[in-house]
Chain A
Amino acid sequence: MIKFSLLLLFVATALSAQEYDSASVYVMFPRNAEPYHFTGVIGSTITFVPRPIAEEEIRQVPIIDATIRYNLPYNFALTAHLGTNYITNLASLGAQWNANYGRLAVAVGDYSSVWYGFASMDGFNVDAIGWLNTPHLSFGIAFDEMLITLRGELLFVTSRSTRAGDIEVASDRNIRAGGSLALYVEQPFFRNTHVLLGLKLNNLSNAYQSWLAFSTFNDPLLYPEFSIGILL
């Protein structure tokens, strides 16, 4: 129900978009931009951990996150992302190459992430750390007031280690953990502000978002993810 309410908000906001020239205000849209120029977004992301894994033990807490894009010459751009909900923390650095033709744009890129989680459960401490690599391909279409980006990602777990106290509970290396398909909308929202709305469907077998569940199941499961943010 929450998922569909968020989706409804996503659609409604997009449909009520205002007329505005959004040519230079975007982070996800795969279009070239003025070199040496920053754009950013600050907002929140919630991932729904599949119930068979989360059971009644894990409460889904949104992550507060920020993404910065720094545009470079020759159609390149660097991206940096930080996210935290205190228990789970993620930092990413990446690069992408953009190309556009009229209203259409495409980008190919890759980012590497490190995540760290820690918690105290029933009197013992657990923590986990993982490194991820995510190549991605984006397609964008620009409307006057709205920039839509469809992005596909592959997720590789470079390494992952979960510890309970001094004991390493689980460790993985070099796993193809699955992929995701994401839809992002960047558009004017209120007065001169712009908003980013994202819906990402992750199909993952080794998702950092569910590290606290200590899942032993190897098959991919669906982790829907909603993002909302204000573009800077």
Chain B
Amino acid sequence: MKKQYYYPKTSEYFSKKINRYFQILSRILFVLVSIIFIHFLSSCNSELKVIVPDVQLLTSLQGTSSIPNSSRRLVEGVYVVESGFGEFGDTVILKHDREWLSIFCEKNSSYIVMQSGMKDSTLYYAGYWRYAQSPRTGLCTLEIKPDDGAREILRAVARPQRIIIRGVFGGNEAVLRNPLVLRFVRGLFIRAHIKSDGKFWIIAHRGGGRNSDRLPFSENSTELIKFAGKLGANGVEIDVRLTKDGVPILYHDENLNTRLINGEYMVGPIGNYTYAQIQELCRLKNGERIPTLDDVLKAVVDSTSLTAVWLDIKEIAEIEKVIPMQKKYLERARVLQELGKRDSLEIFFGLATTDIYNAFTAHPEHEQVPSICELGVSQTQTANSKVYAPRWTLGSLPTEVARLHIDNRRSFVWTLDQPEFIVKFLNEGDFDGILTNYPTVVAYHYYIRK
């Protein structure tokens, strides 16, 4: 008997097969799409990478020697941009911080940071430009030729009538093509204010700016604090916390996190770790060590021209540790000032909360400890704080600021980042300083004034 085989109806058979394959395909497809998304999620993370052009590509400073300080000061001033205004605007500010020359611009909130040198009666500058509020950046070289004013500048007798600075800028490549020409117009604005000796404090938040501003160094690092002067700051605000074993260190957040440090293997409050553990296992976002307050104050006194340090104190327990350190470095700065090796330096103990204010005013020596009070004018007077620091949203506070000036105190407003508000507070207020994440922007708007 012939064997009977069962053959399913062909169309039904294939329909079921196709449907089955489709089911499997749907799951495979879904997993694949999910993997693509996971990959996108991990590759497009929100870490902000620091982008600093390779200044080593620039060779113009090779073989140069340092420009004398007396000559550097003659280069400082307000310049018109004769070529390159598309990127940097019509006018710029030139200001030296030791051997570095910084150029602050209004357009694009851009700035240029350059090292300087001299050779054969020509002044050379090489560095990079950057937009303060975006990572757009590139290289730049400038020079002042003998006939463009360098000869007179190096004689350092008086500022020449004519200073022309010529150079080029571009991206991150060795050959720069865009011309940049600056012509001197006038000197920098100097504040006519008896109470502050003509000084105005541009105080850089977190030692120079936040990590999100993609500066070359991490916030609250010694390296950034040393760099703050190049950004136009003459003061820094830094955040102080205590380790488990009572060492004052610089760190903004309460917890260890990937915003501030590399690696996720250390978690929880930073106060749960000893200083040795932190040094062994933690590095700041750009690889620097988390510095001690002691190291930072030493660096400020010995290696910067900063004239103010604002200690943002986070815990009451810091009082006993910080005040002796504050005294020690104020004394060290005073000695160096007397030797003519640095300008005056003030280190302020920050009184930001009522708890810290109460604990500070209970300290027997508090009246002799320079402090900044954020709480109000009467608390400023009670604590004998040298400075009242109101939040900018309180406005320009003309009555309060005038009262403080009569009382021989000062007022720093915080934290101003928007150019329009910086201008408004400079023009309408009589504050003695501005705390900002963008000292380059404040520097432009302050020094451009007539």
Residues of A with Cβ closer than 8 Å to B?
Answer: 3-4, 7, 10-11, 14-15, 50-53, 55-56, 122, 124, 141, 143-144, 146, 148, 150, 164-165, 167, 169-170, 181, 183, 185, 199, 201, 203, 215-219, 221-224
| Nearest CB on B from A218, distance (A) | 5
Contact B259 A51 (CB under 8 A): yes
The chain B residue with its CB closest to the CB of A150 is B33
The chain A residue with its CB closest to the CB of B424 is A167
State in angstroms the CA–CA spacing of A159 and B135 once bound together.
24
Would A217 and B212 be within 8 Å (CB), given that A7-B34, A51-B46, A199-B37 are in contact? Answer: yes
Contact A52 B253 (CB under 8 A): no
A-B pairs with beta carbons under 8 Å apart, 5 shown: A4-B38, A56-B254, A143-B26, A144-B19, A146-B26
Task: List the A side residues contacting B395 at CB < 8 Å.
Answer: 167
Taking the complex as formed, is B14 at the interface, i.e. its CB lies under 8 A from any CB of chain A? no
State in angstroms the CA–CA spacing of A224 and B46 once bound together.
10
Taking the complex as formed, is B27 at the interface, i.e. its CB lies under 8 A from any CB of chain A? yes
User: A11 contacts which of B34, B46, B211 (Cβ < 8 Å)?
Assistant: B34
State in angstroms the CA–CA spacing of A90 and B60 once bound together.
55
Contact A164 B393 (CB under 8 A): yes
| Nearest CB on A from B410, distance (A) | 22
Task: List the B side residues contacting A141 at CB < 8 Å.
Answer: 29
Contact A143 B135 (CB under 8 A): no
Taking the complex as formed, is B298 at the interface, i.e. its CB lies under 8 A from any CB of chain A? no
State in angstroms the CA–CA spacing of A122 and B354 once bound together.
13
User: A10 contacts which of B34, B211, B257 (Cβ < 8 Å)?
Assistant: B34
User: B31 contacts which of A11, A50, A165, A203 (Cβ < 8 Å)?
Assistant: A11
User: Beyond the given A141-B29, A199-B37, A217-B213, could you list 9 further A-B residue pairs with CB under 8 A, ordered by the A residue number?
Assistant: A3-B41, A15-B27, A15-B30, A50-B46, A143-B22, A169-B421, A170-B418, A183-B34, A201-B44
Residues of B with Cβ closer than 8 Å to A?
Answer: 19, 22-23, 26-27, 29-31, 33-34, 37-38, 40-41, 44-48, 133-135, 210-213, 252-255, 257-259, 391, 393-395, 417-418, 421, 437-438
Task: List the A side residues contacting B31 at CB < 8 Å.
Answer: 11, 15
Task: List the A side residues contacting B393 at CB < 8 Å.
Answer: 124, 164-165, 167, 169
Contact A222 B30 (CB under 8 A): no
Task: List the B side residues contacting A146 at CB < 8 Å.
Answer: 26, 30
Give me the 8 closest cross-chain CB pairs, A-B, nearest first.
A50-B46, A143-B26, A52-B212, A164-B393, A51-B259, A218-B134, A222-B44, A56-B253
Contact B23 A51 (CB under 8 A): no
Contact B253 A14 (CB under 8 A): no
State in angstroms the CA–CA spacing of A10 and B34 once bound together.
9
Contact A51 B30 (CB under 8 A): no
Contact B391 A124 (CB under 8 A): yes
| Nearest CB on B from A50, distance (A) | 3
State in angstroms the CA–CA spacing of A224 and B40 once bound together.
10
Contact A221 B37 (CB under 8 A): no
State in angstroms the CA–CA spacing of A79 and B68 once bound together.
70
Contact B212 A53 (CB under 8 A): yes
Task: List the A side residues contacting B252 at CB < 8 Å.
Answer: 55
State in angstroms the CA–CA spacing of A170 and B419 once bound together.
10
Contact A55 B259 (CB under 8 A): yes
Contact A183 B37 (CB under 8 A): yes
Contact A216 B133 (CB under 8 A): yes
The chain A residue with its CB closest to the CB of B394 is A124
Task: List the B side residues contacting A56 at CB < 8 Å.
Answer: 253-255, 257
Contact A148 B45 (CB under 8 A): no
Task: List the B side residues contacting A164 at CB < 8 Å.
Answer: 393
Task: List the A side residues contacting B259 at CB < 8 Å.
Answer: 51-52, 55
Contact A218 B23 (CB under 8 A): no
Would A217 and B37 be within 8 Å (CB), given that A11-B30, A164-B393, A185-B30 are in contact? Answer: no
Contact B38 A7 (CB under 8 A): yes
State in angstroms the CA–CA spacing of A107 and B283 once bound together.
49
